[in-house]
Amino acid sequence: LTSKRYNVQRGKFSAVSEHDLKFFQELLGSHRTVLGEEELEGHNTDWLGTVRGASSVLLKPKTTEEVSAILSYCDQHQLAVCPQGGNTGLVGGSVPVFDEVIVSTALMNQVESVDTWSGVVTCQAGCILEALDQHVAEYGLMIPLDLGAKGSCHIGGNVSTNAGGLRLLRYGSLHGSVLGVEAVLASGEVVNCLSAMKKDNTGYDLKHLFIGSEGTLGLVTKVAINCPPRPAAVSLAFLGLQSFDNVLKTFKAAKDQLGEILSSCEFIDQSSMECVEGNLKIKSPLDEYPYYMLLETSGSNGDHDEEKLNNFLESTLGSGLVSDGTVATEPSKMANIWALRERIAEALILDGYTYKYDISLPLPHFYKLVEDMREHLGSNVVRCCGYGHVGDGNLHLNFTSRQYEKEILERIEPAVYEWTSQVNGSISAEHGLGFKKRNYIHYSKSLGAINLMKQMKKLMDPNGILNPYKVLPD
């Protein structure tokens, strides 16, 4: 169990009793009060298969009122709670550490409204990202967020982690796209900040407290999201490059030449490519190169965008910045190229155990961290690879070994955080701190900031029942 590996002490919470179960069953009925080790296995274990809790009950509310009744009861009876969406989180935040009650948003999947004039969707937190995107597509809109886990993650989980994803470069962070949030505090009190207005400067903008706080300040029940028009035309260039310096220069050239239509700039190194090709048998349309890039354009005029992208490829091939490249506009070809990038996380798991780092860095230092860590770890690991959202300065640095080894973890941490902190990077760019990274928060935040966070936690969740052992340090 996680608690043993990480040496964490259980908080002074009550254990779930027969009396508590009776309350939950009366509130939700027995089919929405899920019991049993087998039934809970997938909810007690994280997507990576690296952390595991021992909850004995999972609750499936359908409404805000039911969430409110659950939290109010848990608060009064000193029961700890772990909010869970699609359980695709990568920092151990979405599963219990001990026997916390799991509150799942799986049945909170109703879309309330789509305002087609302003392009705003208001929905419950448990809508699956891909399904929600398909829903707004009927109105010519898109959700301004896309990530490899779209088929499973919930929009409430996305908001609670402030997920970044593949198109943050174009559409910005959820702190900008989310217009409103409804959340339930630990006490059961419903905080309605569900404005669907683009502009609303009435007092403190409390919704931001729930965006990225990973279920430690409240349980998000509804969101209102600003949806851009769905682009009529999408094109994708896949490039092979000889040096990381050329990657940076190509990114700069893409911003200059593709400016307003550039919607994604992603990066894959050779080792990550070998992993996805070798472990998942996906074929790359290019030969082997030390570095690869995906550059996507989205716009309203396909011919115009394709011509721009082809000209860009011609000029960067001509100048030698890019060594080889291909442009795809056909959906199945683009999907195959995207799979090479989006499925790396899945491919890494097949090596054995994954040590995962999600780092923000100033671009000149971006790949040096991978090189230094590769040298530092040598043949102790099966793989040390780097990929990610280079257009946002977000490196996904991963190590694998056949199975978990404490010695390897101790060689990686805190070295990787010290390196990052020395160049003023962030030790968690988009995945959050969850359970695994919380005790390293000081590498990216000042003592004053951490103390204020602790005071906010105390104010909003005085008994500390919401996702204990997560985000804030011991």
Residues that bind ligand 2HG (CB under 6 A): 148, 345, 356, 358, 388, 396, 398
Asked whether position 94 contacts ligand FAD by CB under 6 A, the answer is yes
Nearer to ligand FAD, 93 or 231 (CB): 93
Nearer to ligand FAD, 215 or 391 (CB): 215
For 300-389, strand residue ranges (E) read 324-328, 353-360, 383-389
Among 85, 231, 391, 468, binds ligand FAD (CB under 6 A): 85
Asked whether position 469 contacts ligand FAD by CB under 6 A, the answer is no
Nearer to ligand FAD, 56 or 216 (CB): 216
Answer whether 194's CB lies under 8 Å from 122's CB: yes
Burial class of residue 22 in the structure, from the number of CB atoms within 10 Å of its CB (0-12 exposed, 13-18 middle, 19+ buried): exposed
Residue nearest to ligand FAD (CB): 157
Asked whether position 215 contacts ligand FAD by CB under 6 A, the answer is yes
Asked whether position 308 contacts ligand FAD by CB under 6 A, the answer is no
Answer whether 73's CB lies under 8 Å from 459's CB: no
Binding to ligand FAD (CB under 6 A) within 232-251 occurs at none
356 binds, among ligand 2HG, ligand FAD, none (CB under 5 to 8 A by kind): ligand 2HG
Cα(444)–Cα(188) distance, integer angstroms = 32
Asked whether position 173 contacts ligand FAD by CB under 6 A, the answer is no
Shortest Cβ 246–ligand 2HG spacing (Å): 22
Among 57, 169, 219, 293, binds ligand FAD (CB under 6 A): 219
Shortest Cβ 153–ligand FAD spacing (Å): 4
Nearer to ligand FAD, 82 or 412 (CB): 82
Q: 284 φ, ψ to 5°? A: -90, 140
Residue 473 preceded by cis peptide, ω within 30: no
215 binds, among ligand FAD, ligand 2HG, none (CB under 5 to 8 A by kind): ligand FAD
Burial class of residue 339 in the structure, from the number of CB atoms within 10 Å of its CB (0-12 exposed, 13-18 middle, 19+ buried): middle
DSSP calls for 215-226 = TSS-EEEEEEEE
Asked whether position 158 contacts ligand FAD by CB under 6 A, the answer is yes
Pairing of strands 262-269, 324-328: unpaired
Of the candidates 412, 411, 428, 410, the one whose C-alpha atom is nearest the C-alpha of residue 470 is 428
**Cα 180 from chain centre:** 20
Nearer to ligand FAD, 93 or 325 (CB): 93
